[in-house]
Amino acid sequence: MEAILPKALKKGDVIGVVAPASPPDLARIEKAKSLYEEMGLQVLLAPSVGKRHGYLGGTDAERVADLEAMFANEDVRGVFCACGGYGTPRIVDRLNYKLIAEHPKVFWGYSDITCLHVAIHQQTGLVTFHGPMLSSDLGNSELEGATLAGLSQIMAPRQQVFEQTRQPLRVLAQGMATGKLVGGNLTLLASMIGTPYEIDTKDALLFIEEIEEEPYRIDRMLNQLRLAGKLDDAAGFVIGNFNGCEPKKRQHSFTLQEVLDEYFSASGKPCISGFQIGHCSPALSVPYGAMAVLDTERKRFVVEAGVRGEGQ
């Protein structure tokens, strides 16, 4: 399916905030709103934001209704997720993807939102954005420059270049690869295998990130992707941040790096680890489904713009 770039946002535009997974912290959302308001954007909360239904941010029907209403609303130019947690796998098969395709907009989030990135892009072709969210990240504490810089990519088309100077990087396998950038949270990617919404990695650059999972669990999930052919299909690999993924309850364990080495070092496909993508600070933002180039010789990762200009 041909990729569709959403229109860049401009000053005065309205962005809608939804909570398609767990309940967000409203005080943190209020604090984070100022970041977007300083960019000249207006922030509108969906009706169900702040509701609680067990560990979910409202019932499945309420969360679906909020998402679809924000995409259908002609006054709303972007749809931003408040937080992750858990909940999007419950609604992925209930969304009206035809509606989303007819109203392509900036869509932003990560973590549990991985499920929606995969489904929306594969069902509609829309390029979406994997990046920090209002409640779980932007309203928490002081933000680093790289995190703030990533937020502005929705305002104008621009290529992004991630290099060694921004964070320590490690080459696991040499080479250069080009493809559209797909991936996200490893737990979500593994959980969708065997469903109609499993990720398509054919000739793509696969990026992964994770938080608070021990190496044996990382091993299990990577092995699931391997058995499903997702690692064989990919053109190369971008390894993001694995926050708190050290051995804890097992006395004898492989390290995280040993697990990653086993799956990627001998793959014969370009792979670099250490990118600050995921549950970390700074947290880099990348357009999901945009074309990208991974160059291990230069330790460089280049991603094309995820939005189009007004005249495009």
Q: Residue 260 — pLDDT band, cuts 50, 70, 90?
A: very high
Q: What is the per-residue pLDDT for 32?
A: 93
Q: Is 103 a catalytic residue?
A: no
For the cut 90, the answer to whether the pLDDT of residue 184 exceeds it is yes
Instruction: Pick the closest to residue 220 from 248, 279, 262, 252 (CA basis).
Output: 262
- Beta strands 160-163 and 300-303, pairing class: antiparallel
For the cut 80, the answer to whether the pLDDT of residue 217 exceeds it is yes
Q: Residue 165 — pLDDT band, cuts 50, 70, 90?
A: confident
Q: What is the per-residue pLDDT for 112?
A: 98
CA–CA gap between residue 85 and residue 87 (Å, rounded): 7
Q: What is the per-residue pLDDT for 167?
A: 73
Residue 144 vs residues 14, 84, 173: alpha-carbon distances, Å: 25, 21, 30
List the catalytic residue out of 68, 209, 214, 304.
209
The vertex-176 CA angle with 300 and 240, nearest 5°, equals 50
Q: Is 111 a catalytic residue?
A: yes
For the cut 80, the answer to whether the pLDDT of residue 141 exceeds it is no
Task: Parse the chain into domains and list their residue ranges.
Answer: 14-142, 160-303
What are the beta bridge partners of residue 53?
Answer: 56
Q: Is 279 a catalytic residue?
A: yes
Q: What is the per-residue pLDDT for 70?
A: 98
List the catalytic residue out of 111, 135, 136, 273.
111
Common-topology check for domains 14-142 and 160-303: no
Model confidence, pTM: 0.96
For the cut 90, the answer to whether the pLDDT of residue 187 exceeds it is yes
What CATH code is assigned to 160-303? 3.50.30.60
Q: What is the per-residue pLDDT for 172?
A: 97
CA–CA gap between residue 146 and residue 169 (Å, rounded): 16
Q: How far is the first Cα of the chain from the last one, in angstroms, to the nearest whole number?
A: 19
- Beta strands 205-211 and 236-243, pairing class: parallel
Residue 250 vs residues 99, 154, 223, 284: alpha-carbon distances, Å: 47, 43, 19, 32
For the cut 80, the answer to whether the pLDDT of residue 282 exceeds it is yes
List the catalytic residue out of 210, 279, 285, 304.
279
- Beta strands 271-273 and 286-288, pairing class: unpaired
For 127-131, 245-249, 258-262, which range has the lowest pLDDT when averaged over its residues? 245-249
For the chain, give the mean pLDDT: 95
pLDDT in tens, 25-84: 999 999 999 999 999 999 999 999 999 999 999 999 999 999 999 999 999 999 999 999
Question: With respect to CATH, is domain 14-142 assigned 3.40.50.300?
Answer: no
Residue with tokens 């900036």: 106
Q: Residue 299 — pLDDT band, cuts 50, 70, 90?
A: very high
CA–CA gap between residue 231 and residue 215 (Å, rounded): 18
